[in-house]
Amino acid sequence: MRHLVQALGPLAPGDRVALLSASGPPSGRQLDRAEELIRDWGLVPVRYPSATARHPLHDYLAGSDAQRARDVEDAWCDPSINAVFCVRGGYGSVRVLDLLDADRMRAATPKPLFGSSDVTALHEWLREQIGVCTWHTPMIATGDLLDDPVAIVNLRQAVFEPWEGRRYVRPGAEVWVPGTAAGRLIGGNLSLLAMTTGARGRPALDNSGCLALIEDVTEDTYKFDGYFQTLLRSGWFDGLAGIVLGSWRDCRPDEVRALAGELLIPLGVPLVWEFGFGHDRESMCLPLGVNALLSAEEPEPSLTLEGGVQG
């Protein structure tokens, strides 16, 4: 398995951080609040054009595809920028992947990138094409973070504290398939994982021996069925060591539960339901690409981060 560069921080007061959107536009008020929060933490926010831009045709996109891709690439390659915060999800990051200069980004010094939801497409691309770890966190210019004090504390910990050895538990998490498994954390938003099966370079990375994190929000159950089928048929689940399912906010929980159980329990790997990352309140912040130990055992399933990224 390919070695990944850690590049997860921690940051220090005075560090300059980029605020940009690879996806949809945030509200101006939420963006201002995000900048205020970053300043309160002692960091220096640098607002990139995509954070306030609008696409000329599609109001769900933060500026043109070229603008969003340029901001991602420039922020990543600017040595004066210490981290990148994707301010909002929504949709659109899959449209920028083929516009990124992978060679230029590989030559740059890696840095932490924070985000989730639609940013899953960037997480996967950075893992596969650049070979770096990233942070799966709530989006900094959204109410999911700014109106949730626990989520703010969790993000601040991800930004400023070492991640090695951290142990995560979630009240109410359920073990569906018991066991323990060690592997590299991958994954994110289910719909984006399915969407990017057609957007990767070839060959895509082998997920064998990895621990998959999967969550989603505001989707019909039949769409989840299609997303799972896409990933199953494409081989994305082949050889996984374990699976951790996160939140499913604004979905039909009983239907999603039945569907996920039907399709994933037969894989026979340790499996936990509703572990507390994603779009729910008090969301966890999890580093993608690092090695972790999944303990799918009652009464308290847990995920413990180990001090390495070599698979």
Q: Where are the beta strands (DSSP E) in the chain?
A: 16-20, 44-47, 83-86, 113-115, 134-136, 167-169, 174-177, 179-189, 211-217, 242-249, 271-273, 286-288, 291-296, 302-305
Q: What is the pLDDT of residue 310?
A: 47
Q: Among this protein's residues, is 50 annotated catalytic?
A: no
Residue 205 has pLDDT above 90, yes or no: no
Residue 308 has pLDDT above 70, yes or no: no
- Here the tokens at position 153 are 């504390």
Report the C-alpha gap between 46 and 240 in whole angstroms.
38
* Given 35, 73, 124, 215, the catalytic residue: 215
Q: Indicate the pLDDT class of residue 199, thresholds 50, 70 and 90.
A: low
pLDDT in tens, 40-63: 999 999 999 999 999 999 999 999
Question: How large is the C-alpha radius of gyration of the chain?
Answer: 18
Tell me if 193 sits within 8 A of 124, measured CB to CB. yes
Tell me if 245 sits within 8 A of 211, measured CB to CB. no
Q: Indicate the pLDDT class of residue 281, thresholds 50, 70 and 90.
A: very high
Q: What is the pLDDT of residue 6?
A: 86
Mean pLDDT over 232-251 rounds to: 96
* Given 55, 123, 136, 279, the catalytic residue: 279
* Given 117, 247, 295, 302, the catalytic residue: 117
pLDDT in tens, 85-117: 999 999 999 999 999 999 999 999 999 999 999
Q: Indicate the pLDDT class of residue 206, thresholds 50, 70 and 90.
A: confident
Q: Among this protein's residues, is 58 annotated catalytic?
A: no
For residue 236, what are the contacts with CB-CB under 8 A and spacing of at least 6?
Answer: 193, 197, 207
Residue 36 has pLDDT above 80, yes or no: yes
pLDDT in tens, 126-164: 999 999 999 999 999 999 999 999 999 999 999 999 999
Q: What is the pLDDT of residue 223?
A: 97
Mean pLDDT over 229-245 rounds to: 96
pLDDT, averaged across the chain: 94
Amino acid, single-letter form, for residue 228? F
Q: What is the pLDDT of residue 160?
A: 98
User: DSSP character for 127?
Assistant: I
Q: Among this protein's residues, is 283 annotated catalytic?
A: no
pTM > 0.75: yes
